[in-house]
Structure 1
Amino acid sequence: MTVTPRGNAPPLTVVLGIVIGLLLGPLGGTGQAREGGTPSPVAATPIPYAPGVDLATLDGTVSVDGSSTVWLISAEVAERFVGMTGDVEAPVAISGTGGGFRRFCAGETDIQGASRPISAEEAAACAAAGVTYYGFEIAYDGITVVVNPANDFVQCLTVEQLRRLWMPDDPARTWRDLDPAWPDEEIELYGPGIASGTFDSFTTEIVGERGASRQDYILSENDNVLVQGVADEEQSLGYFGFAYYVETQDRLRAVAIDAGAGCVAPSRETIADGSYRPLSRPLYVYVSGESLARPEVRELMRFYLATAKESSESVGYVATDDATYAANQAKLDGAIAGAVVPDGSGAPGTPATR
């Protein structure tokens, strides 16, 4: 299986087996949710998957697109599911969260990965096109700020320093602009494009306004391109999803973030307990209500939600709590039976099912 980047990402084919082979294995834990709903680390024990049909009889193509962050989960799920079926294809593309929603709401794709909830504008576009949808929270991520490992002076950045670095008007350009004790070297920046949910989340939490960012940085919707850029350039800094850092931490160094309570480095534990602020966030998957009429889509979504806990941990993210996974399954079953009203009604959906 291959992945096809879209939007402004350069052409790149990633062989799924190689990517997954590099990832870290599952992390055990307590499986208890902390106050406020963010989960503690959990053991990777999937909800049992019970096919609704004979998988060997399935055929057809299920089109999956969206967030590069969620791609790691979707690609693993799709590869496993395709291997269980007779003749189903499930290509997984990367258009970014925003770019993916444009295709999803145009009826071009069946399943959409997202690193933020659908926006009011996107929900309205779906409604105008007659596309209904159901959203599900599947994991937790922490947007990770990274530097080249040769950089031995940037151990922690405050939210204000990050804001000064990424703000659209008169941003910091050298390390010394951020701290007078640091070198007077220009910083080469790497980050996602404007179609990315990671871009939306980062600009909202760090700059203070969704989409507000300097434009003079090297951008791609494909996080592997960002990883390579920071790894190759000594005076560089970038940001992307935590699992991509986990996969490549021998080539990069994560920077701790100080949101006012001291420096906190990203980890499964700090993402799960909520101390990695303000860059921890839930991840989502959406399915088209119209596409659920096709058995291959129904079964892939059943398998996706049944194994989301296992898959999210295996690729480096933090699983959400068991109650949410169980509620996801019940919501999907109700959607398939026609007993659950779609989220897509012209307003933002409510994929968090706690």
Structure 2
Amino acid sequence: MPTPSAARRGLAIGAGLLLAAGLLTSCSSDEGDGTDLVAQAQEVQYRTELAQQQEIERRAANLPTRPAGTVVIDGNTDSSLTRDLTSAYVADGTVTTVDVGHSGEDEAFQRLCAGEIDLVDSSRAISRSEWEACRAVGLDVVQFQVAADAVVVAIKSESDVGGDCLTTQQVQDIYRAGSPVTNWAQVGLDEVPLSVAGPDTQNKAFDFFGRTVLDAQQPSLVNLRSDYRALDSDRGSRTFVVGSARDERIAGTNADRQRVREQLRSEVAAQRQVVDDARDEVEAATAEVTKGVRDQRPAADQARDQQRLDKANAAYQAARTKLVTLKASWTRAKRAADGSAAALKRYEATRGHLSYFRFSYYELFEEQLRPFEITLPDGQRNCVFPSQRTIVSGQYPLSQQLLLTTTTRSLDRDDVSGLLEFTLSHAVQEAEDARLVPLPDAQVNQQLAVVRGEQAPTLVVPEEDKAAVESTKDAEPVDEPAQ
């Protein structure tokens, strides 16, 4: 049955239409035939609209009655917060029975507009055709947001590939199966090699990215390019983009290590000359000792020759020992320098590496990751940066809103409003626990005010009708009573 307020509204509309039609007919009776024809046409129009309104009220009266003590939710409930929140609601001691289905969004919206269920769990807004189906039976649609989610497409922070903005089509072209894109120049940026990676199929971001970017209803690896590196952790994806922390640390020492290696190389070369000179002195001293013996020099002279030889041998051995030590140090320095050069090469090679992450993970490492702003191919939502505000509002193109859609008919039921109040009151904490994007407190409180009856609900208007409504408001501002 329609609510008393809906019935009163329908009767008032009908009475107003009849009154307007009668007034137009009477006012035009004294005028010419042209005016009579206009009035008659308007009367026909008003009577048609009245008949339509009466038909809507008849259909509303035939809607199935929603049983007291039971709330039925259907939609995309397997990948949202609904099951956890309803379980917590039941555990909190409510006497309301909550029936949670999972038939998908399309069927759930059909059931809502047929009056069979109370709430639709979805990651999309109601479509125009679904909205019209609800309106055809006198159901006004109300939408509540529980949380949001998004993926961020990012390269390494402080790196540059020639731009900060990609269209959703370009992101799809980069990642899709059969993609020929191997250089950033192919999407209009710099001549930089492009390599892609991302989560494997076990990561929730994989399904979200596949549905949102690749338009795959059931995403799998076959939807992605053959050289896509599916990594088993967010950390692995981050390392692919920014390089390992170890490589970064070692690469940072490369200049010092190269300097030490070159310094030791020079010292080894200099010490080799010292060894050669010491060897020459040993040979010269040996020759003098031999000659002194042969020439039968005085004992004192032969003693001095032997002292010279002993000194030369000692110097030669010391020089050789120092050379061995320097060569060992140079070998270690060369190994370290080669390692740092390789680490630097690996670290620099990550320039142009691209991966995607859930927004909640990106926030933890935003100093390491450089996200692309995203724009729609038609120029709408130009270059939107991923933030809590743009994601919650749905402005960021690679985001989705977690919604609960109901009707004013169901919202008037205490069972439904009680569940919604509990859900919204706990949504922020549940969203954080699930690594989703929580709503700001002000938005939560505003929705709670609607659920509690402290504020009139804002009825859903199809997207294509909003611009016309807003332009009318701007052109002819009027004071209207609150709904």
Give the TM-score taking structure 2 as reference length: 0.38
* Partner residue, 1:114: 122
Cα distance change on mapping 1:86 and 1:341 into 2, 3 Å: closer
Cα distance change on mapping 1:294 and 1:279 into 2, 3 Å: same
Tell me how far 1:305 sits from its aligned partner.
1.4
* Partner residue, 1:343: 459
Tell me how far 1:163 sits from its aligned partner.
3.2
Q: 5 Å matches for 1:1-354?
A: 60-68=69-77, 71-85=79-93, 87-143=95-151, 159=167, 160-164=169-173, 173-175=177-179, 177-179=180-182, 202=212, 219-220=217-218, 226=219, 229-230=220-221, 249=233, 265-268=357-360, 269=363, 270-272=386-388, 274=390, 278-334=397-453, 340=456, 343-344=459-460
Cα distance change on mapping 1:277 and 1:327 into 2, 3 Å: closer
Distance in 2, Cα, partners of 1:236 & 1:131 = 50
Number of residue-to-residue matches in the alignment: 233
Cα distance change on mapping 1:273 and 1:345 into 2, 3 Å: closer
Distance in 2, Cα, partners of 1:120 & 1:273 = 26
The code of the aligned residue for 2:358 comes to P
> Are the aligned partners of 2:75 and 2:121 in contact in 1 as well (CA < 8 Å)?
yes
SS in 1 for 2:80: helix
> Are the aligned partners of 1:100 and 1:112 in contact in 2 as well (CA < 8 Å)?
yes
Tell me how far 1:279 sits from its aligned partner.
0.5
5+ unaligned residues in a row in structure 1: which ranges?
Answer: 1-57, 146-156, 167-171, 184-188, 191-195, 208-212, 221-225, 238-244, 257-261
- C-alpha distance after superposition, 1:314-342 (max 9, x if no partner): 222111111101101112122xx7x6256
- C-alpha distance after superposition, 1:83-111 (max 9, x if no partner): 12354332323344333322222222211
> Are the aligned partners of 2:151 and 2:359 in contact in 1 as well (CA < 8 Å)?
no
Moved more, 291-300 or 103-112: 291-300
Cα distance change on mapping 1:322 and 1:85 into 2, 3 Å: same
Higher helix share: 2
Two-structure CA RMSD over aligned residues (Å): 5.0
Tell me how far 1:198 sits from its aligned partner.
8.8
Higher strand share: 1
Cα distance change on mapping 1:115 and 1:304 into 2, 3 Å: same
- C-alpha distance after superposition, 1:94-140 (max 9, x if no partner): 34433332222222221112223323222211111222232122222
Tell me how far 1:199 sits from its aligned partner.
8.5
Cα distance change on mapping 1:274 and 1:298 into 2, 3 Å: closer
Distance in 1, Cα, partners of 2:143 & 2:465 = 7
Distance in 1, Cα, partners of 2:411 & 2:209 = 28
- C-alpha distance after superposition, 1:212-268 (max 9, x if no partner): x5xxx6x44xxxxx5xx559x99597xxxxxxx9xx847995998xxxxx9774322
Tell me how far 1:306 sits from its aligned partner.
1.2
Cα distance change on mapping 1:293 and 1:327 into 2, 3 Å: closer
Cα distance change on mapping 1:82 and 1:236 into 2, 3 Å: farther
Distance in 2, Cα, partners of 1:300 & 1:66 = 16
Cα distance change on mapping 1:79 and 1:347 into 2, 3 Å: same
Distance in 2, Cα, partners of 1:235 & 1:73 = 34
Moved more, 97-106 or 322-331: 97-106
Distance in 2, Cα, partners of 1:330 & 1:349 = 26
> Are the aligned partners of 1:118 and 1:348 in contact in 2 as well (CA < 8 Å)?
no
> Are the aligned partners of 2:124 and 2:403 in contact in 1 as well (CA < 8 Å)?
yes
> Are the aligned partners of 2:147 and 2:403 in contact in 1 as well (CA < 8 Å)?
yes
Q: Which is bigger in relative contact order (C-alpha 8 A, separation at least 6)?
A: 1
Distance in 2, Cα, partners of 1:198 & 1:91 = 30
Distance in 2, Cα, partners of 1:103 & 1:316 = 30
Distance in 1, Cα, partners of 2:100 & 2:417 = 17
Tell me how far 1:68 sits from its aligned partner.
4.9
Tell me how far 1:79 sits from its aligned partner.
0.3
SS in 2 for 1:140: strand
* Partner residue, 2:247: none
Cα distance change on mapping 1:164 and 1:289 into 2, 3 Å: same
> Are the aligned partners of 2:146 and 2:403 in contact in 1 as well (CA < 8 Å)?
yes
> Are the aligned partners of 1:59 and 1:86 in contact in 2 as well (CA < 8 Å)?
no
Moved more, 324-333 or 130-139: 130-139
Distance in 2, Cα, partners of 1:72 & 1:344 = 21
The code of the aligned residue for 1:267 comes to F
Distance in 2, Cα, partners of 1:279 & 1:347 = 18
Give the TM-score taking structure 1 as reference length: 0.50
Cα distance change on mapping 1:67 and 1:124 into 2, 3 Å: same
> Are the aligned partners of 1:140 and 1:282 in contact in 2 as well (CA < 8 Å)?
yes
The code of the aligned residue for 1:266 comes to R
Distance in 2, Cα, partners of 1:267 & 1:92 = 28
